[in-house]
């Protein structure tokens, strides 16, 4: 079962949702506003997500070490 977070945490009428599927290592990012208008979501593999943002393996290792 995917894990999902909401931004902000108490999002109600507008927000962003980020879902992670561990088995496929996939992130899906979407959102909504005015309680019902959905924003187009996009799915990334973790590798695609990190590469598009320029996040390196070294940066991840440092983040998890700290």
Backbone dihedral angles phi then psi of residue 55, each to the nearest 5 degrees: -90, 120
Q: What's the rounded Cα separation, in Å, for the pair 19 and 26?
A: 8
Largest CA distance in the chain: 40
Q: Which domain holds residue 44?
A: 3-65
Domain count, the chain: 1
Predicted model pTM: 0.80
Could you tell me the pLDDT band of residue 1, with boundaries at 50, 70 and 90? confident
**HEC string for 36-48:** CEEEEEEEEEHHH
Mean pLDDT of the 24-39 span: 91
For residues 42 and 18, the answer to whether their CB atoms sit within 8 Å is: no
């Amino acid at each position: 079962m995917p894990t999902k977070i909401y931004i902000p945490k108490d999002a109600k009428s507008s927000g962003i949702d980020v879902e992670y599927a561990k088995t496929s290592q996939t992130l899906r990012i979407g959102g909504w506003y005015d309680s019902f208008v959905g924003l187009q979501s996009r799915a990334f593999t973790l590798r695609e997500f990190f590469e598009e943002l320029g996040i390196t393996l070294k940066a991840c290792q440092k983040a998890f070490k700290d």
